[in-house]
Structure 1
Amino acid sequence: MGSEAQDVCLLELEAVIGFNGHVFSGLIVHPDREHLIYPLGCTVILKSLKNNKQTFLHGHTNNVSCVSVSKSGNFIASGQVTFMGFKADAIIWDFAKKEVYARLQLHKAKVEALAFSPNDKYLVTLGGQDDGSIVLWNIKTGQAICGSPASAHNAGHCLTVRYCNLNDDVFVSAGNCTLRVWELDLPNRKIRPTECQTGQLKRVVKCIEIPEDDSFFYCGTTSGDILKVNLTTLLLNGCGPVKHKFSQGVIAMRMLKTGDLLVGSGDGMLTLCNGTNFKMKKNAQLEGGVTSVSLRGEGHQFFIGTDAGQIYRFGYTDFKPELFSSNHKNAVNGVAFPFGSSELFATCSKDDIRVWHAKTSKEVLRISVPNMTCNALDFMRDGRSIVSAWNDGKIRIFTPETGRLMLVLNNAHSMGATAIACTKDCQKIVSGGGEGQIRVWEILKGSSRLLESMKEHKAEVTCVKIKSNDKECVSASSDGACIIWDLERYVRNQMVLANTLFRSVCYHPEEFQIITSGTDRKIGYWEVYDGSAIRELEGSLSGAINGMHITQEGDHFVTGGDDKLVKVWHYSDGAVSHVGIGHSGSITSVQICPNNKHIISTSADGAVLRWRFPRRSS
């Protein structure tokens, strides 16, 4: 790939909208009280609470599965998942330098949980179900001291570990019918477990919380109750609440200085309860199951993460949730800017369309359609409506200010509406469907009319673009064809064929050429007039190119795909000038904002990234 061998600069990543709320206790406030730490895909994100500036820790090769921060704040540890039989890394990061301090490679398939000892001496790591081992590491040397099976042969697999607050030699592990306290025997390089006695109670423990004095510890269970165990005698001290258990299990807990417990449950309830009898004092309902509870400083403020990708901020006194950050929890399928405006953009996913403020990355509007997936969206040129294509075969039109549903085109496509574009005069919509049809709709006041249905594609239509005079459009399909259609006579003008599943197509602004991308990793330039091939570029070394967008001047275009790289290309010489490294999932779409200052890219892991568009180099 000759173009890649030239001098390629790195794109500057400005902001990431995204948070993996499925990682248990993955949202942590750093001891400095000024940073939030949380995972997204293969990346660990550090976000300043003062100015919202983000720093990215890149080093994992697959999704981050657990995160922990040392008591001093000097170190962050993160573990990842990988494939069966392969090593799953845990990484210790130097917080001050924001770089890898040590890479720990012993576990297979997944690192389930990890915890620092109170004085930064040791890190304990727990392997996943296929690994089943606990390993203790010396932080100073980055070497393993010893390891042991996490649970006894007749017990279930272990899910979590927690270190004591005062003793570097004692930690607790728990999981499916297993609850053990471990002690380090350093001279013999061994960790020795002692089973806790819980009598007839058999529970699956998801989280452990140990008060500052190490007198006992709490275990949150999937049954919705909390076990209280004496850390000296290892005997069950209490269990509650007796009547009103926490619905869908206790997933996250934190103890406050007052002796009260903050309990996050699977039904999205955050409860402040008494640490002795577990009686509820206050509660708040949040969106999505609570997976993280983290205190800021002494606990006057705390941050809550949910599996719906939401981050909330609470004050202890008023106990009212403030939505600190909202994020997509499913793959983002498309992105669109209103005509001529770079301040806002919209993204679409399963269950919703969201409108974001570009500069602050704040969500300004959410349009929810539960249990449906939005495959594509576009703004009408007058900015008065968002047009969207959905997997139930409907086209839905909403107002961008309020999200009110203006119009539904029922049964627009029999196998889901998969691509959409609006004409410049705001009177027509061209849509593509899973069955391969291209349909042209006239939008009237409060109603619509099907003008024509054009059926030549034999598989899903993946992209539709309309020429600036509204008289022609081009459709890309996974049947290996791109078709240029006459929108006045509703006939095919030209067809482009290639041995690929086409994913994206763009008109060059001068509209005498189109460029295409797809699963063959090639970028094709084609003549609009006769459909002949002009040139072919090697677009990627691995995986399909799913998204592509060209500047209004036509001098550069941007691509993104399964290789997780955003690439900026010179149109005329076909060379890559800049590469953006930051996505953890396959890139699904890319868009250059109208003022050419930023690129927005979206991915299959729910992330939305904003990049600084490079200054003109030619």
Structure 2
Amino acid sequence: GCNIIVEDLNNNHQTILTGHTEEISTMTLSNNGMILASAQCSISTKKDELQSKIIIWDTKILRQKLYFNQSVHAIQSMAFSKDDRYLITIGNYKKPIVTLWSTKNYSHLLNWQDDFSSYYINCLAWNSTRSNEFCLGGSNSTIRICTINEQTTNDDNISLQVINGKIPLIVNESTQKTCDITACNYLTSSINLVLCATNTGFITCWNSRLCLCVLHWKADLNEITYIATIKNKLLTGSSTGCLKLWNIENLEMNLGQLNTIDSNYGLIIQDEFQLDDGIISGSFDHRFDMGIVGTSCGSLWYICWTTDRSKTRLVVSHTDKITGLVPIEDTHIVTSSHDGTIRIFQLDDRNEILRFNTNGLKVTCLTSWNDSIVPTLKLSYSTSLMKNIKSNIKSIIAGYDDGTLRIFNLLHEQMILKLQPHTCSVTAIHVPLHTTISLSGAEDGSVAISNLVQGQLLRVLNEHLGSASICSIDSKKYFENNSYLWLITSHDRRVSLWKSNQQFDQCLLIDWLTFSASDTTYD
């Protein structure tokens, strides 16, 4: 999205910061916590130049201070130096240029770009002791230690010294593929040591003065996407959601030992948590007792490593376009998304209490059903979070991009039935009142009538076929003769009017309506 949401966790009050016009690619907070910098993806100007907008926010009053632009496709990452004198921004893989800015007035100081066009940068870390040194990790097993040289106090006389280093060949050979550095962090206990994680699960330890790998060990079976350190502790987070807390007290004692692939050099995993998706960010207190971790599925977790040893999901959201919303009384909502999930949220605390997931498929539409099918496998629902919700809605019916419908029993928290009335993406679903019939429309204009209890396709109506996708279906019941009057609308501005009996085995087309196109044109 193009908005920033700041939430006070004490009272759940939210403030929305607006100012970006394109999707925000990254954000960073100054070390004193007074400044927030956010960057958006690029837009094309009249001169066909790419401009990525960077906004500087005052976190005390939550207002924009200023903004400036950089000529890249998108900002991959950015960070303030430890003394907050500099801000570094890094372009994404299409133009991986490193830019240094002065935080006095956010003026441009210098640019640096690698000589090899195939090299891209994944991560950035500032030295916690020397405020003029930072590390870049990227593709092709390459690390770069960068030093800002200031000849005078004048910002015009600044240069960048870059030293290249390569991950040892033994690490690449053990995985039979080239390693990419995915995360990096300086050790606070040493002025010269920096830890770098790889996409193959290795942690490498480097002497930043020599740009030399002095130690490496296998820390995870999957790609490591997040690392953080304090004096004797290391946090690693993987692409599969595994968060590990390491004791690295013996790290510096083992620097002189011979590197082997199968040794952890006495480095111990103190604890670990499994979260709901890949870990992409985190922030912890100065003792690593507690912190907050973000995942790639949009959730935020509170982590406590102390005697409580707990993980609590604070915030969760969809990661793609939301395609449906069904309210349950005034207490809950059901949402669906192209990310393949159906989620149920409590409105009072915005907490997710239930999720249905179909990996690889997009949920394209959603509706409720006041009836239900008893599952064949009756699981115990004494612990169900849905059993105390007072509502007539007992089931959720979802349409998918592969042409299928799925029925979910809310009380039993299960998928009960899957049927395939369409050959292409479902675009609309409707269940007429007091029936076990679903009316579903598809991208090709077909409308299917299905029996939800028997799981059978009863009939397909082709009157809208080939013209445009179906956008909505609605009906009204006439109680005096148990008949239904219903409408089908499609994106070509046509509406068909139908009459049916209660079983929907008799469907009569009554009339057509066609609306003229609007004179207004939209960009």
Give the TM-score normalised by the residue count of structure 2: 0.80
Letter in 2 for 1:425: H
**2:220 counterpart of 1:246:** yes
- Equivalent residue number for residue 486 of structure 1: 499
Matched residues in 1 for 2:192 and 2:86: separation? 21
What's the CA shift for 1:154? 7.6
Contact in 2 for aligned 1:247/1:266 (Cα 8 Å): no
2:446 pairs, out of 437, 442, 448, with: 437
- Equivalent residue number for residue 158 of structure 2: 190
- Equivalent residue number for residue 306 of structure 1: 295
- Equivalent residue number for residue 126 of structure 1: 90
- Equivalent residue number for residue 473 of structure 1: 486
1:55 pairs, out of 8, 15, 19, with: 15
Q: 1:477 to 1:252 in 2, by over 3 A?
A: same
1:274 pairs, out of 221, 243, 247, with: 247
Contact in 1 for aligned 2:55/2:68 (Cα 8 Å): yes
What does residue range 510-525 of structure 1 map to in structure 2 within 5 Å?
A: none
Letter in 2 for 1:322: T
- Equivalent residue number for residue 172 of structure 2: none
- Equivalent residue number for residue 415 of structure 2: 405
1:457-502 Cα shifts (integer Å, max 9, x gaps): 02432211223546212222234422222234522223232466xx
2:512 pairs, out of 495, 510, 513, with: 495
Letter in 1 for 2:454: S
- Equivalent residue number for residue 192 of structure 2: 215
What's the CA shift for 1:212? 2.7
Matched residues in 1 for 2:208 and 2:81: separation? 16
- Equivalent residue number for residue 428 of structure 2: 419
- Equivalent residue number for residue 204 of structure 1: 180
Q: Gaps spanning 5+ residues in structure 1: where? A: 1-40, 501-521, 523-535, 543-618
Contact in 2 for aligned 1:79/1:91 (Cα 8 Å): yes
- Equivalent residue number for residue 386 of structure 2: none
Matched residues in 1 for 2:348 and 2:59: separation? 27
Contact in 2 for aligned 1:452/1:490 (Cα 8 Å): no
What's the CA shift for 1:414? 3.0
> Which structure has the higher relative contact order (CA within 8 Å, separation 6+)?
1
What does residue range 18-57 of structure 1 map to in structure 2 within 5 Å?
A: 41-57=1-17
- Equivalent residue number for residue 390 of structure 1: 400
What's the CA shift for 1:55? 1.8
Determine helix, strand or coil for the equivalent of 2:464. Answer: coil
Letter in 2 for 1:209: N
Determine helix, strand or coil for the equivalent of 2:430. Answer: strand
Contact in 1 for aligned 2:336/2:364 (Cα 8 Å): yes
Matched residues in 1 for 2:420 and 2:166: separation? 58
1:380 pairs, out of 369, 376, 387, with: 369
Q: 1:296 to 1:486 in 2, by over 3 A?
A: farther
- Equivalent residue number for residue 385 of structure 2: none
Contact in 1 for aligned 2:485/2:500 (Cα 8 Å): yes
What does residue range 40-189 of structure 1 map to in structure 2 within 5 Å?
A: 41-82=1-42, 85-149=49-113, 151-153=114-116, 156-177=119-140, 178-186=142-150, 187=152, 189=157
Q: 1:478 to 1:301 in 2, by over 3 A?
A: same
Matched residues in 2 for 1:436 and 1:247: separation? 47
Q: 1:499 to 1:370 in 2, by over 3 A?
A: farther
**2:236 counterpart of 1:260:** no
Contact in 1 for aligned 2:473/2:486 (Cα 8 Å): yes
**2:473 counterpart of 1:464:** yes
Letter in 2 for 1:475: I
Contact in 2 for aligned 1:196/1:235 (Cα 8 Å): no
Matched residues in 2 for 1:310 and 1:78: separation? 20
What's the CA shift for 1:198? 4.2
Contact in 1 for aligned 2:430/2:473 (Cα 8 Å): yes
- Equivalent residue number for residue 295 of structure 1: 284
Contact in 2 for aligned 1:147/1:190 (Cα 8 Å): no
Matched residues in 1 for 2:398 and 2:210: separation? 62
What's the CA shift for 1:185? 2.8
Q: 1:152 to 1:448 in 2, by over 3 A?
A: closer
Q: 1:451 to 1:238 in 2, by over 3 A?
A: closer
What's the CA shift for 1:379? 1.5
Letter in 1 for 2:245: L
Give the TM-score normalised by the residue count of structure 1: 0.68
- Equivalent residue number for residue 580 of structure 1: none
What's the CA shift for 1:314? 1.2
Q: 1:235 to 1:291 in 2, by over 3 A?
A: same
Bigger CA radius of gyration: 2
Matched residues in 1 for 2:186 and 2:354: separation? 40
After superposing on structure 2, the runs of 4+ consecutive aligned residues of structure 1 that deviate more than 6 Å are none
Contact in 2 for aligned 1:407/1:447 (Cα 8 Å): no
- Equivalent residue number for residue 343 of structure 1: 331
**2:445 counterpart of 1:455:** no
Letter in 2 for 1:193: Q
Contact in 2 for aligned 1:117/1:167 (Cα 8 Å): no
**2:372 counterpart of 1:355:** no
Q: 1:44 to 1:462 in 2, by over 3 A?
A: same
Determine helix, strand or coil for the equivalent of 1:412. Answer: coil
Contact in 1 for aligned 2:323/2:366 (Cα 8 Å): no
Q: % of aligned pairs identical?
A: 21
Q: Gaps spanning 5+ residues in structure 2: where? A: 170-177, 252-264, 371-391
Q: 1:494 to 1:209 in 2, by over 3 A?
A: same
Contact in 2 for aligned 1:457/1:479 (Cα 8 Å): no
Q: 1:343 to 1:200 in 2, by over 3 A?
A: closer
Q: 1:390 to 1:148 in 2, by over 3 A?
A: closer
Matched residues in 1 for 2:117 and 2:318: separation? 40
Letter in 1 for 2:226: A
What's the CA shift for 1:248? 2.8
1:237 pairs, out of 189, 214, 220, with: 214
CA RMSD of aligned residues (A): 2.6
Contact in 2 for aligned 1:173/1:179 (Cα 8 Å): yes
Determine helix, strand or coil for the equivalent of 2:349. Answer: coil
What's the CA shift for 1:393? 2.9
Q: 1:347 to 1:197 in 2, by over 3 A?
A: closer
Letter in 2 for 1:267: T
- Equivalent residue number for residue 530 of structure 1: none
Matched residues in 2 for 1:199 and 1:286: separation? 29
Contact in 1 for aligned 2:449/2:457 (Cα 8 Å): yes
- Equivalent residue number for residue 5 of structure 1: none
What's the CA shift for 1:419? 1.1
1:141-175 Cα shifts (integer Å, max 9, x gaps): 121122222x3448722222222223332222221
Contact in 1 for aligned 2:188/2:230 (Cα 8 Å): no
Matched residues in 2 for 1:44 and 1:65: separation? 11
Contact in 1 for aligned 2:421/2:450 (Cα 8 Å): no
What's the CA shift for 1:116? 0.5
What does residue range 459-608 of structure 1 map to in structure 2 within 5 Å?
A: 459-467=468-476, 469=478, 471-488=484-501, 490-498=507-515, 541-542=522-523
